[in-house]
Amino acid sequence: MSLPAFAELLERLVFTPGRNAKLALLRDWFATQPDPDRGVGLAALTEELVFTTAKPMLIRDLVAARTDPVLLALSHDYVGDLAETVALIWPERMGVNAEPPTLSEVVEALEVTPKAELPALIAGWLDTLDSGGRLALIKLITGGLRVGVSGRLARVALAEWSGKPVEEIEEIWHGVAPPYLPIFRWLEGQAEKPDPRDAPVFRPLMLAHPLEDRDLAALDPAAYRAEWKWDGIRVQLTAGPGGRRIWSRGGEDISGGFPEITEAMDFHGVLDGELLVIRDGLVAPFADLQQRLNRKQVGPKMLRDYPVGVRLYDLLFEGGEDLRPLPFDERRRRLEDWVARHEPARMDLSPLIAFASVAQLSEVRDGARAASIEGLMLKRADSPYLAGRQKGMWWKWKRDPLSIDAVLMYAQRGHGKRSSFYSDYTFGLWRPDGAGGEELVPVGKAYSGYTDEELGWLDRWIRNHTTSRFGPVREVEKALVLEVIFDAAQLSGRHKSGVALRFPRIARIRTDKPASEADRLENLMAYVEAGPAEG
């Protein structure tokens, strides 16, 4: 009965906004499901196992042969999603008494069944399932589960369930294939920890603490090294005889999205760096990199228009040698040598910034206005490379945010704990309306930065000043000014205002300021970088 159980898990995950509740659902799955189905289900949830065996067309044909075309069209129109329509409308056959398939039966059968026999196989399965089971099956075999469970979240759930540290699970995760039987045996205390050997595995990243004023006061400049904090995405490059992988910060395998990088990884080692869109040595704004994210495949136009590179800042393994216990200075020297020797394509060194005092460093930070730079990284010269966030070893020192006074335009209810509050705010700035007057144009959306009290106040204000509603969204009187802070402003063709904000959040509610005195779009435009930042 594991496919129906999996269907129920999927349904709960789809509707559950809270991280803790998701973790509880996953722990329950690991505790109650048999092998190999719990591992197969886990791989399907995290999309380490993706099927494209059945095309949506096949499913459409199956249902069309079993339903009235007018009723099918009316139903599809009403439900919207084809897979869900099929799951709901599939006629239940009286007298079917076959057991629903287990997850592993589905996976095995898909591998061995000739294409011509797929329709009959799938129809037979659908006949044994209820609507939830049918939806799970269709989504599974057409490759579209999308339930919002990252590999990282799943591994945290495994750690909580088993009591083993998540870093240890991360270390071996990618060395073991679904359904992860050696991992489950180890987590249940029935076997030794699996040894990944040569397999390309993700090594847990070393992370930085935000630098507060009191930390700054205690900082000994001689003990630290400084680098730019780049506004890209953190990646780990792993290459060797076992294969090549690009891992995201959370340990997801994102190699498929960046073929030009994997092609350049003809070395044996593990590197830490920042993935950026780089044109002629200049780093483009984050919005450009966004074009390349979350893609399983990329076309030639993407590769040409948004070329990516990796700015390297650490070397974890050289060949089979684990450099992580070495102090930062030593690893840095090895990294510099390594880059000089290999001259890897599409990779360069993130430079060190020389400084003599905290005051000088502070000046450097304030002077960095390029959109591609978020601030500074400070790394202790003697720090080994340790998993996670280690106090006093690495600091991130972001530059001060930019700020505008904007007018609240729309509000939307949040998720999870905040689902009863209007907690997502769309705000706008004034610009000429072309008819001699002024109009507000939306420039961004913020859903953080406020205190609980401010959230309560905003929620009340919104409910009392609503002018119209569209589903979960309320339009409000254009009367409330919010001070919005953000890290950078970048030109964007996809926004009505022509500009996109990086990490906007609410700093203050300006009840003291009338809406007419809020900022104008041109004030924001003054913050936009003239061109791509220098690297």
Partner 1 sequence: MGCTGAAQGQASFTMPHPETWLRVTPDGLLCEPGGFFIDPVRPVERAVITHGHADHARPGHRSVLATPETLAIMRARMGEGAGDSQQEMRHGEVLRQGDVTIRLVPAGHVLGSAQVVMEWRGSRAVVSGDYKRQADATCLPFEPVPCDVFVTEATFALPVFRHPDPAHEVAKLLRSLALFPERTHVVGCYALGKCQRLITLLRAAGWDRPIHLHGAQQPLCRLYEQLGVPLGELRPATVANKAELRGAIVLAPPSAIADRWARRLAEPVTALASGWMRVRQRAKLRGVELPMVISDHADWPDLNRTIDEVAAPEVWVTHGRDDALVHALAGRGIRGRALHLVGLGEDEDEAVASEGAPAA
> C-alpha angle with apex 265: 260 to 271, nearest 5 degrees?
115
Q: Residue 204: is the preceding peptide bond cis (ω within 30°)?
A: no
Smallest gap, in angstroms, from Cβ of residue 303 to partner 1?
36
d(CA 441, CA 380): 46
For partner 1, the closer of residues 342 and 463 by Cβ is 463
Q: Is 144 in the site for partner 1 (CB under 8 A)?
A: no
**Mode of pairing for the β-strands spanning 394-398 and 209-210:** parallel
Nearer to partner 1, 74 or 191 (CB): 74
CA dist., res. 350 & res. 285, Å (int): 17
Q: Does residue number 71 form part of the binding site for partner 1 (CB under 8 A)?
A: yes
CB of 421 to partner 1, least distance (A): 8
Closer to partner 1 by Cβ: residue 13 or 271: 13
| Cα separation, 371 vs 96, whole angstroms | 62
The helix/strand count (H/E) of the chain reads as 20, 24
From the list 1, 17, 64, 357, which residue makes contact with partner 1 (rule: CB under 8 A)? 17
Cβ at position 475, least distance to partner 1 in Å: 12
Q: Are 505 and 483 in contact (CB under 8 A)?
A: no
84 interacts with partner 1 by CB under 8 A: yes
Nearer to partner 1, 63 or 235 (CB): 63
- Out of 61, 117, 130, 260, point to the residue binding partner 1 (CB under 8 A): 130
Eight-state DSSP code of residue 12: H
Q: Which of 22, 229, 379, 478 is catalytic?
A: 229
Is 301 a binding residue for partner 1 by CB under 8 A? The answer is no
Neighbours of 2 (CB within 10 A): 21
Q: Judge whether 229 counts as a catalytic residue.
A: yes
Report the alpha-carbon distance of residue 84 to residue 269 in Å, rounded. Answer: 45
Rounded to a whole number of angstroms, the minimum distance from the CB of residue 415 to partner 1 is 8
**Footprint of partner 1 on 472-501 (CB under 8 A):** 472
- 228 touches 202 (CB < 8 A): no
Distance CA 265, CA 370 (A): 29
CB of 80 to partner 1, least distance (A): 6
By CB under 8 A, residue 96 contacts partner 1: no
Segments in 282-420 forming alpha helices (H): 286-290, 300-305, 328-342, 358-367
95 lies in the binding site for partner 1 (CB under 8 A): no
Of 115, 214, 469, 494, the residue at the interface with partner 1 (CB under 8 A) is: 469
Q: Would you give the binding string for partner 1 spanning residues 419-458, x where CB under 8 A is met?
A: xxx-------------------------------------
Contact between 21 and partner 1 per CB under 8 A: yes
131 belongs to the binding site for partner 1 (CB under 8 A): yes
Q: Which residues of 193-208 are buried (b: 16+ CB within 10 A; e: fewer)?
A: ebebeebbbbbbbbeb
Q: Position of tokens 């992988």?
A: 245
Contact 392, 381 (CB under 8 A): no
110 vs 94: CA distance, rounded Å:
26
Among 67, 290, 360, 362, binds partner 1 (CB under 8 A): 67
Site string for partner 1, 370-399 (x = CB under 8 A): ------------------------------
- Looking at the Cβ atoms of 15 and 319, the one nearer to partner 1 is 15
- Which residues, in sequence order, are bridge partners of residue 271? 237, 315
Is the Cβ–Cβ distance between 406 and 398 less than 8 Å?
no
What single DSSP character describes residue 257?
G
| 75 binding partner 1? (CB under 8 A) | yes
When the beta carbons of 389 and 460 are compared against partner 1, the nearer one is 460
Rounded CA separation 329/225 (Å): 9
Shortest distance, CB of residue 97 to partner 1, whole angstroms? Answer: 17
Q: What's the min distance (Å) between Cβ of 88 and partner 1? A: 4
**Count of positions on this chain that bind partner 1 (CB under 8 A):** 40
Whether residue 529 contacts residue 369, with contact meaning beta carbons closer than 8 Å, is answered with yes
Question: Which CB atom, from 55 or from 463, has the smaller least distance to partner 1?
Answer: 463
Let me know: does 27 contact 161? Beta carbons within 8 Å.
yes
Site map (CB under 8 A) of partner 1, residues 193-232, x = contact: ----------------------------------------
Rounded CA separation 175/26 (Å): 22
φ and ψ of 136, to 5 deg: -60, -45
Burial class (CB in 10 A: 0-12, 13-18, 19+), 524: buried
Q: Judged by CB under 8 A, which of 1, 64, 74, 96 binds partner 1?
A: 74
Assess 113 for contact with partner 1 (CB under 8 A). no
Q: Which of 249, 333, 342, 463 binds partner 1 (CB under 8 A)?
A: 463
Binding flag, residue 68, partner 1 (CB under 8 A): yes
Residues forming the active site: 229
Q: Contact residues for partner 1 (CB under 8 A)?
A: 8, 11-12, 14-17, 21, 24-25, 28, 67-68, 70-72, 74-75, 78-81, 84-85, 88-89, 92, 130-131, 413, 415, 417, 419-421, 463, 469-472
